[in-house]
Structure 1
Amino acid sequence: MAAKAEADSLKRVFGLTALVIYGVGDILGAGIYAIVGKIAGLSGADVWISFSVAMTVAALTALSYAELGTRFPKSGGVAYFVQKAFRAEWLSLLVGWLMLCTCLVSMATLSKAFSGYLAAFAPTVPHAVIVVGLFLSLGLVNFWGMRESSGLNIFCTTLEVSGLCLVIFVSAIYLTGGGGATPGDLVPGASIPPGEGLGWTPILQGAALAFYAFIGFEDIVNVSEEVKDPERNVPRAILLALGIAGIVYIIVSWLAVRVVSPAELAASNAPLLDVVRRAQPNFPPLAFTIIALFAVLNTTLLNFITASRLLFGMSREGILPAWLGKLHPQRSTPYRTIFVILPMVTYLALSGTLLYLAGTTATLILAMFCLVNISLIVIKRREPRDWGFRIHGLIPWIAFISNIALAAFASRESHILAAVLTGLGGLLVWITLVLRGKHSQNPR
């Protein structure tokens, strides 16, 4: 019998429904569990407006992703789009580095949230012990190998969404019964409507942080090669997933600051757990904590897997030492990258605050989204078309400007760390290209 030929393309398994669930699961999850309290500390009762602004900015770039995803239904995401637009190796390599940094800083952010929820039941365990134990455990899982399926993603999404639905349900019952924070607690000092008193600055500062919770819609493009009828289903799934997640975020955040005051949420290490405790004291807090921990744990693991594969790929491309591009002989996993990542994320987690790390992640993502929008502008001018999904030429420009404007409201510390990481990536890319040039001039 003849040997079975190796497949030359990925199997198209995602229909629209499965793809939307995949996208919602990628967006929903750890973000809202981790940072809703910190956003409330910035924008008070207007936290829901901060989420609305962040969703609007994300939707503009989502439209750019939708057109790019139908033009180039390939895996690769930002780096692929940048390469198609500018055909500049150094820029594609730098984007790969920024994607890696985003994963690492996001992992550090999520470890803070994980520690906060776990500390609610184990307050005597030091934060450092929780962080180190978390990363070592995930490192072991990453080393051992993991096969993901659409069914597992649906299960994870269902569990994460159930926690947010629980927050909505118990909060609504509590508020209709006459409970809730007093009006004077909704904004520090007084109840101040948007545009008056405190003004829009704190709302936009909150939006810059809230953007972290919307990360994930861009990953839908990365599975385009596995989608049935990608020209129709990819743009629909991106916008539907973002809209569903955004509506859930707005409802949860609006209710949260009316059950627990923004000041209390900002000071909490487990904000949504505090909301459930206040709204329904008889509900077993351990049950909600397990849901929150699972949501954070799952997202952290996915970031860890992505980061290890990015390091592995960058090594194979010659950007990083070849030593990192080795697979374990039995497990077939990039085990050396895991050992490199562990001390890096541990240092970030132990040296930065939740607000600082989440802000840096959002800043890095906004920078990459700027490149996505500019890439679409270039591609539309060079390769115009009058068929398929396409957006008005002004939209990527508006998205680009809104990304820059929102990033400007992130904290100064987040700007500094993002700039340092970008500069380090630029240096690594420059060294790599110089060494490649010398090697080509002096072949063995």
Structure 2
Amino acid sequence: MSKPSTTDGMPDELSRRLGVPDAVVVGLGSMIGAGIFAALAPAARSAGSGLLIGLALAGVVAYCNATSSARLAARYPASGGTYVYGRMRLGDFWGYLAGWGFVVGKTASCAAMALTAGSYVWPGQAHAVAVAAVVALTAVNYTGVQKSALLTRVAVAVVLAVLAAVVVAALTSSASDAARLDVGDDATFGGVLQAAGLLFFAFAGYARIATLGEEVRDPARTIPRAVPIALGITLAVYALVAAAVLTVLSPQELAEAAAPLSDAIRAAGADSLVPVVRVGAAVAALGSLLALLLGVSRTTLAMARDRHLPRVLAAVHPKFDVPHRAELAVGAVVAVVAATGDVRAAIGFSSFGVLVYYAVANASAWTLTAAEGRPSRIVPVAGFAGCLLLALALPLSSVIAGTAVSAAGATAYGVRRAVAGRTP
């Protein structure tokens, strides 16, 4: 049976090639990346000694989001993630809003990851390296999702090894002081919430498994298994790394660190490991970038199929079984942003867009029936409330920018519908 095609005769459906291990690796590659190397310092600046509480709160919200997303992905195993779920459960506008928030927010994430890699590989030419990384990884994704999953597996292994070295060096150092883990007077409720919102940036990768729903074998079984496994591993790794870093750096020292894990290694007296950490950070950023480009292109594909984006982007390559036009378009936009953008501003902006995306996911999961695999009611309720709370707790500049971009997307949707209604 032939695949459905676009108007120019090219297929627009993808092949199911990924099993549970590959899906878990894609999720890990999206989460265990540059976020842990970059997000600890701004989070510590917000939460002070309440950093670990903020991490735990981000993990709880991420768990609710992941559970809701996994149940929905098993029900609707198609590319697009919450864009598809929102349309099917809540209506066309809410699916569009989720897809818009995801594409815009994750485009900023892609640029942030590329710039992080550039700052570690060649600090003086970070923007040029970032653009080169985007071009190279777009080419990798273009040749097929299986190659991407294999490269992501290698990146995850390298990053986990580097993080393990950081943890061991910190915990065995004579500078280690467990008393630093105590919550002091510098931790405020608002600061902890803001830290959780910033740290959510480092968790928001499990959606990549759902957005690859059309390329996963037996999605009803694979996706609900892969999502919690990937999230659980990531939360454990982050908690261990954050606790280890706080045994050699005070919250104030961590807040001021330009490269938190490198500074932690120096404080632990293991200067010889600093180059290893730098390489690990670059590999982590590239691994995250690879998986992010993969996910954004799949949501772009889904939105193009429904004409919320140009229909030409819905084509699937007849040989490589990838949405090649969407991948090239996303890669081009990310390259432009990476050439001109700022990594720190991208984190807050990305978190806002992705939290909006997951708020729609939780609202969609609420509408599932028991026969459709609905999670416990408390999960989507807590997830929805948590997403809104963390989004509003982000730095004011991120909230304003995120709200403006969301409003622009909603306006574009309204204009498109109005024009379509007047077309004979």
Q: TM-score, normalised by structure 2?
A: 0.84
**2:192 is the alignment partner of 1:203:** yes
Alpha-carbon distance between aligned partners in 1 of 2:238 and 2:333, rounded to the nearest angstrom: 35
Q: 2:407 aligns with which of 419, 423, 435?
A: 423
Aligned residue identity for 1:169: V
**2:289 is the alignment partner of 1:300:** yes
**2:173 is the alignment partner of 1:180:** no
Give the structure 2 partner of residue 47 of structure 1: 51
RMSD: 3.2
CA contact (8 A) 1:79 1:93 kept: yes
CA contact (8 A) 2:26 2:208 kept: no
- Could you tell me which runs of 5 or more consecutive residues in structure 1 were left unpaired when the two chains were aligned: none
Q: Bigger CA drift: 54-63 or 215-224?
A: 215-224
- Could you tell me which runs of 5 or more consecutive residues in structure 2 were left unpaired when the two chains were aligned: 5-12
CA contact (8 A) 2:313 2:325 kept: no
* Residue aligned with 2:347, SS: helix
Give the structure 1 partner of residue 183 of structure 2: 193
**2:122 is the alignment partner of 1:114:** no
CA contact (8 A) 1:232 1:389 kept: no
CA contact (8 A) 1:117 1:289 kept: yes
- What are the superposed Cα offsets for residues 282-338 of structure 1, whole Å, 9 maximum, x if unpaired? 524223211210111232244345445655665665445678789999996454554
Aligned residue identity for 2:156: T
Q: 1:74 aligns with which of 59, 73, 78?
A: 78
CA contact (8 A) 1:209 1:362 kept: yes
1:132–1:307 Cα change, 3 Å: farther
Aligned residue identity for 2:351: A
Aligned residue identity for 2:381: W
1:66–1:320 Cα change, 3 Å: closer
- What are the superposed Cα offsets for residues 268-294 of structure 1, whole Å, 9 maximum, x if unpaired? 332112222332435242232112101
1:305–1:136 Cα change, 3 Å: farther
CA contact (8 A) 2:79 2:213 kept: yes
Aligned residue identity for 1:265: L
Give the structure 2 partner of residue 147 of structure 1: 144
Q: How much has 1:24 moved relative to structure 2?
A: 2.4
Aligned residue identity for 1:103: K
Q: How much has 1:147 moved relative to structure 2?
A: 2.7
**2:115 is the alignment partner of 1:130:** no
* Residue aligned with 2:370, SS: coil
1:301–1:241 Cα change, 3 Å: closer
Aligned residue identity for 1:398: A
1:389–1:40 Cα change, 3 Å: same
- What are the superposed Cα offsets for residues 167-206 of structure 1, whole Å, 9 maximum, x if unpaired? 11111211xxx313696xx5xxxx9636x56433322221
1:329–1:435 Cα change, 3 Å: farther
Alpha-carbon distance between aligned partners in 2 of 1:60 and 1:408, rounded to the nearest angstrom: 18
Count of aligned positions? 409
**2:366 is the alignment partner of 1:377:** yes
Give the structure 2 partner of residue 169 of structure 1: 168
CA contact (8 A) 1:208 1:407 kept: yes
CA contact (8 A) 2:30 2:291 kept: no
Alpha-carbon distance between aligned partners in 2 of 1:327 and 1:392, rounded to the nearest angstrom: 37
* Residue aligned with 1:180, SS: coil
Alpha-carbon distance between aligned partners in 1 of 2:347 and 2:357, rounded to the nearest angstrom: 16
Q: TM-score, normalised by structure 1?
A: 0.81
Alpha-carbon distance between aligned partners in 1 of 2:296 and 2:16, rounded to the nearest angstrom: 25
CA contact (8 A) 2:31 2:202 kept: yes
Q: How much has 1:391 moved relative to structure 2?
A: 1.9
